[in-house]
Amino acid sequence: MGKKKVVSKQENIAEGEEKQAKAASKKSSKSVDSGKIYIKVSFNNTIVTVTDNRGNVVTWASAGSLGFAGPKKATPFAAQKIIAAIAEKIAKTGPFNVDVVVSGVSVGRDSAIRSLVNHGFNIMSIKDVTPVPHNGPRPKKPRRV
């Protein structure tokens, strides 16, 4: 099976202090100049994710995480509140120069982008990556009355 490691009490305490120091250093976040904001809107929810240029997630929020329930999650008001929560989370660290990537079709798209401008983000580009079918499935047969 292997040899068991015997640790004295002093070594164990030193290891605990090292773990606490590592955890504290992880929490201190670096300032990010530019990044991307991914806005995913659907008929059921709105999700906003903020990343740096390398793709590492800085923060995220959704309508459900803010307490909206049911059909209220897909409203423009919920999208505004999500952007306000995101702006509050990254007020000190950034990013402030952002590329916006929007996916999905719902009423929250425009209000989310407008809210980004109102909260002081400098939008460099807006890209729509909503999937569009090239041909799609066979259409329904015509209705006979």
pTM above 0.85, yes or no: no
Cis peptide before 137 (omega within 30 of 0): no
Q: Which fold has domain 34-128?
A: Nucleotidyltransferase; domain 5 (3.30.420)
d(C-alpha 105, C-alpha 87), whole Å = 23
State CA 7 to chain mean position distance.
Answer: 43
d(C-alpha 41, C-alpha 128), whole Å = 11
d(C-alpha 92, C-alpha 12), whole Å = 36
pLDDT tens, position by position, 1-33: 667 777 666 655 555 555 555 554 455 467 888
Evaluate whether 107 touches 75 at the Cβ level (below 8 Å): yes
